[in-house]
Amino acid sequence: MSSNRRGVGLSAFSNSAISADQYARHGQALRSNHAEALANQLSVFQAALHNFSLTHAKDIRQNPQFRAEFARMCNAIGVDPLAGSNVKGASTSNGKASSAWAKMLGSSVNDFYFELAVRVVEVCRETRAENGGMIAVSEMRKRIEKGRGIIGGGIDVTDDDIERALESLAPLEGGFKVVPLGSHRFIRSVPKELNLDQSTVLEVIQVLGYVTVSMLRDNLGWERARAVAVMDDLVSDSLVWVDSQASETEFWSPASMHEGA
Amino acid sequence: MATATSSPATPGLTTTPYAPPPTTTNLSSATFTLPSYTSFPPFYTLQPNLTTRARQLALWTNLILSYAAHARLFRLSLSAPPANLLSNPTLHRALSEPDTRAVLDHMVQQGRAEWIPAASRAERPAAVWIYWRSLAEWADLIYGWVDETGQKGSVLTVYELREGEAVGGKEWVGMEEEMLRRVLGVLVKKGRAQIFGQEEGAGVKFF
């Protein structure tokens, strides 16, 4: 509007400066109102969540399905429990470890995921020589449920819990990543990217149990050299095991190792 | 029972009186549940990747030791391994002899086995002692038993220790004399026992 009516003389300059200033002030007021409203809403919501978690804390800790639903709900409304607890050190200067999440749940749900993450890392390390650092999320779950051989050492978890626990490790840059392969999801604990050929082969192995060079040639139309090169790579990354007692050398995924009778 | 023999010939001779253990081996193998990785075909091929191979050797060691402990097997011979331990007929897979040697070599390195020298120097050893308990553990067990039963200071024959009525049901029953002598050797070194005589009637005194 002010730009339409320019005015005349020198006062036009000061007029435009004044109106720009007024707009800015008004904008500021709007923004702060808005922020205040949001802060109110957030605190109301947090209070509600707090009450909810207090009444249901036991369920959250004990019932894996309930826990998954709860975590999903928090995700849906944009509260990331784990991210919340991870940035605490950087943002709070008083050194008090208090993420919104930890405050709300008395840190027990938080701790649950951290503890689970520790187990996941343990299993990854234990089995690395066997599977080259690729383990199916479902096998991870079985191993964790079995525990470390100590009575009562196992925890009842879901695949979802495991993936969430892994997310909590992200700030450590440990290279733990969940990658889909075929119909399964795998945890990759070595910082290595698979190329397209390699992941194709691993997918085929997930479906058929094993793979041979001529199977790759016939089904994917690869040249022999290409198939051999991919298999050599996978063997040297210890991602597959070799069986040379079949009519043609077979390559097996260590994932099927503990599934047999 | 072994006649008066010099020790190099023992392996050949002791196998004959040891007909009973194989039968017990077969009987108990029926109840021994093989771990699931024994139905994984590549398990029977020595892995070219060294990291994978290390894991494989560890699994094999584990399998052989737990089987031996289950079947009370003290000696594993390459020519006549326990049925289905080194092979899986359902899968038509078997650990080849060179690969078996590699596994046993690994166990020897880990101190869980020891090659039994062949009768002649030219031949490669064809059997191992399996130490599902280490020699030191065996020594402690036997010494503990002697102590418990108040036989310290008295003289026992090696035969009594192996097959006497008093040791019935003990874990080392049926242990071959050669191996038992090694165990006793550990006690002798510690100054806890003394062996008299070399032959069958050899006596042991515990202190």
Mutate: best of A126, A130, A232, partner B, most B CBs <10 A: A130
ipTM for the predicted complex: 0.70
pLDDT of A89 over the 50 cut: no
Greater confidence (A174 vs A125) lies with A125
Q: What is the DSSP letter of A81?
A: H
The pLDDT score that the predictor gives to residue B18 is: 34
pLDDT of residue B21: 37
Residue B71: give its domain's CATH number: 1.10.10.570
* B49·A236 Cβ contact <8 A: yes
Residue among B51, B63, B93 with most chain A CBs within 10 A, to mutate = B51
What is the pLDDT, as a whole number, of residue A108? 58
Judge if B24 and B120 occupy the same domain.
yes
pLDDT of residue A4: 57
User: Residue B116 domain-assigned?
Assistant: yes
Task: Answer yes or no: do B55 and A129 touch at CB < 8 A.
Answer: yes
Q: Is A194 helix (H, G, I), strand (E, B) or coil?
A: coil
A48 has a pLDDT exceeding 70 = yes
Half-sphere exposure of B183 (CA within 13 A, CB side): 26
- Please give the pLDDT value at position A182: 73
Average pLDDT, chain B: 78
Among A101-105, A197-201, B71-75, B95-99, the range scoring the smallest mean pLDDT is A101-105
Torsional class of B5: left (φ above 0), alpha (ψ -120 to 50), beta (otherwise): beta
Domain that holds residue B179: 135-206
**B112 and B144 in a common domain:** no
Q: Is residue B115 part of a domain?
A: yes
**How are beta strands B127-130 and B75-77 bridged, if at all?**
antiparallel
Contact pairs from chain A to chain B, CB under 8 Å: 63
**Domain edges within chain A:** 193-261
Residues B84 and B166 grouped into a single domain: no
Contacts of B52 in chain A (CB under 8 A): 129-130, 132, 235, 238, 241
Contact A238 B54 (CB under 8 A): no
Query: Residue B144 pLDDT > 80, yes or no?
Result: yes
Instruction: Pick the closest to residue A104 from A120, A89, A119, A84 (CA basis).
Output: A84
Is residue B185 a part of any domain in this protein? yes
B108 shares a domain with B31? yes
Residue A174: pLDDT above 50?
yes
Looking at 3.40.190.10, 3.50.50.60, 1.10.10.10, 3.40.1710.10, the CATH number of the domain A193-261 comes to: 1.10.10.10
Query: What average pLDDT score do residues B115-137 get?
Result: 84
Same domain, B82 and B177: no
- B42 and B75 inside one domain: yes
> Tens digits of per-residue pLDDT, B23-58?
333 444 457 888 888 888 999 999 998 888 999 999
pLDDT, residue B9, reads: 37
Test B36 with A257 for CB contact under 8 angstroms.
yes
In a domain, B194, yes or no: yes
Say yes or no for a CB contact (<8 Å) between A210 and B41: yes
Task: Quote the CA–CA distance of B121 and B142 in Å, as a whole number.
Answer: 33
